[in-house]
Amino acid sequence: MDIVIDLQPFVDFFSLPADILMLKLFFMVGWMPIAVVFIWGAGQIWLKYIRTKWFLTHKQVLLAIDIPRGNVQTPKAVENMLAYLACEHGTYNYHEEWWEGQFQLSMSLEIVSIDGYIQYLVRTPDKFKDVVETSIYSQYPDAEITEVNDYVGIGPVKYPDEQYDIWGGEFILTKDDALPIKTYKDFEDIFGEPEVKYKDTMAALMDLMSSLRKGEQIWYQIILIPVHPDYWSKLSVTSDDRISKIVGEKIKSKENIIDKAGGAFIKLLGDLGELVYSIWGDIEEKKKDEEQPFKMMNLKPVQKKQVEAIQEKVGKLCYEVKIRMIYLAEKEVMNKNKAANGFGGFIKQFQMSDLNSLKPDTGAHGTATKINYPIFYNARLNKRKRKIMHNYKDREDTAGRTPMVLNIEELATIWHFPIEAVAKAPLIQKVSGRKVEPPASLPFSKEVVASDDIFKEKSKIDDSNNIIVDSDSLDDQPPENLPFA
C-alpha cells in the first residue's frame, strides 16, 4: 500500500502575500509567546503583592548592643553567633510561597556613628528577636541589649537637600563568590603580648567613626539572608565545578531525562566497543588513567591555594549578603575624602589578590554615588543618592546589586565587637558596669542616674534588684538630641 503525502496546502500557505502570511502565523502560533510573557508578568505582580502583604504582618525591631568593658572576645565569638542565627533559614512549599506570600526574611548587622558616638545594632523581624538575643548572650553574657528607635529617620530621602549631602553605595566582591576574602585568622601575629597578638581589623573603622565631628554620621549595614546549608551543591555551577575549572578538568553538565537516555545509549555503545579493543588501546587507556593522579601535583601554587580556599569557604555556613555604607553630613562640615577613603581603607584590609576582595560598586550601572560620564551628571547623581538612601532605610535585600555569598568566618571578620586592648574607641557604647546580687538586708530606692549610653537610661538598681556596680569611669556624655530612644 502506497502512502501519498499531499504538500500542496503547505505550498499554497507559504505562497500567500507576506502581510496575510504574517497575520495568519500570528493567529496560529504568534500569540503563544505573548501569552507566556503575560502569564509570567501576572505571576510576578501577584507574587509581589502577596509577599508585600505577608511582609507587612511582621514587625521589625532594632536592637542596640552594648558590649562589656574590657572585651577580649575574638571574632570567633561572632562567628559562633552567626552559626546559631542560621537557624532562621526556612523552606516553603508552593502553597506557602504563591498563596500566602511567605519568603525568606532577612536581618541586618549595623554599626552607626553619629557625631563620633558609636553604636552596634542588629535589625531583625520581631519573631526572631529572642533568637538574636540568645545568640548574643551566649557569647557575651554581660552585654546589654535594648530595643531602640530607628536612627535612619534623620536622613533626607530627596536630593539635592538644603542641609545634608551624602556619599554612599554598596560594596561587592571582585571575583567569584566561592573565593574567600582575607579573614581574621590572617591577622594573628606571633609577636607581642598575648592580648594584642590579634591585630583587630575593626580598629581602623572605630578610629574613623570616633573622629567624626558634630553634624557628621557614618552608617554601616550588612544585610544577611540565611541560605540552605547545602547552598553550594544546589547551584547550577557548584563549588566542585569551580574547582574543576581551576584544575583544568572537564565540568560535568547537569543531565535531564533526555541526556540520561542518550548517555545510557552511548554507554551501551562503549561497552560493545570494549569487545574489539586492541591491546594497544588498553595500554593507551592505562597511561591516561595513570596521568590523572598527578594533575593536582602539577598545579601552580596559586591554583592550589585557590582550591584549598574554596573547599574551606564552602565547608562553613554561608549567607547571601549585601554591604552598604552611607556618609551623611551637613554641608558645612562634610569631608567626603576622609569618610570615603577611610572606609575604603577599612575594606581594603580584607583583600587577597590571589583570592578575593571587596570594592565599592562604582561601575556604570553601580550603586555608589559616583558618576563616570558627564551627561546629565547632577540628575543621575541625585538619583543614585535617593536610591542608596531608600535601600538603606528599608534594609532592601532585593534592590541594588545581586546579593553575594560570604561564610560566617568572613562575616565575623568584617563585623565584630572590637577587642578593647587593640581598638581603643573612647566613644563606643559599652556596658557601664557589671550586675551583682545585693545583700538581702540592704535598703534601697530606685533612682535614675546619668549613663554613658546614648540609647537608654539605666538605674542603680534594676527591676531584678541587681545593683549596677561601676567598674570604670564614664565616657564623655553624648549630646541629648541624638535620634535614639
Last residue of one domain, picked from the residues 271, 290, 314: 314
- Asked whether residue 396 is domain-assigned, the answer is yes
Highest mean pLDDT among 52-56, 158-162, 409-413: 409-413
- 79 and 172: one domain? yes
What does the pLDDT read at residue 109?
96
- 221 and 176: one domain? yes
- 25 and 85: one domain? no
Burial track 132-167 (b if 16+ CB lie within 10 A, e otherwise): bbebbeebbeebbbeebebbbeebbeebebeebbbb
Quote the distance between the C-alpha of residue 485 and its chain's center: 28
Question: For residues 242 and 299, is the Cβ–Cβ distance under 8 A?
Answer: no
- 79: pLDDT strictly greater than 50: yes
- 149 and 200: one domain? yes
- Asked whether residue 287 is domain-assigned, the answer is no
- 398 and 331: one domain? yes
- Asked whether residue 279 is domain-assigned, the answer is no
- Asked whether residue 216 is domain-assigned, the answer is yes
The position carrying cell 536610591 is: 387
Last residue of one domain, picked from the residues 363, 390, 414: 414
- 105 and 28: one domain? no
Last residue of one domain, picked from the residues 386, 414, 442: 414
Give the residue from 406, 396, 343 showing the smallest Cα distance to 79.
Answer: 406
Question: For residues 99 and 205, is the Cβ–Cβ distance under 8 A?
Answer: no
Structural domain total, the chain: 3
Residue 47 structural domain:
11-53
Task: Write out pLDDT tens, residues 268-287.
Answer: 666 666 655 554 455 455 55
- Asked whether residue 305 is domain-assigned, the answer is yes
Q: How far is CA 23 from CA 7, 19, 33, 417, 435, in A?
A: 21, 6, 15, 68, 82
- 344 and 391: one domain? yes
pLDDT band at 420 (very low <50, low <70, confident <90, very high): confident
- 205 and 323: one domain? yes
- 349 and 362: one domain? yes
- Asked whether residue 402 is domain-assigned, the answer is yes
Task: Write out pLDDT tens, residues 89-133.
Answer: 888 888 888 899 899 999 999 999 999 899 999 999 999 999 999
What does the pLDDT read at residue 318?
92
- 43 and 104: one domain? no
- 68 and 45: one domain? no
Residue 429 or 238, more confident = 238
- 447: pLDDT strictly greater than 70: no
Task: Write out pLDDT tens, residues 191-231.
Answer: 666 556 778 888 899 999 999 999 999 999 999 999 988 88
- Asked whether residue 445 is domain-assigned, the answer is no
Task: Write out pLDDT tens, residues 1-46.
Answer: 667 676 777 677 677 787 787 787 777 777 788 888 999 999 999 9
- Asked whether residue 426 is domain-assigned, the answer is no
What does the pLDDT read at residue 324?
95
pLDDT band at 64 (very low <50, low <70, confident <90, very high): very high
Residue 427 or 317, more confident = 317
- 46 and 130: one domain? no
- 440: pLDDT strictly greater than 60: no
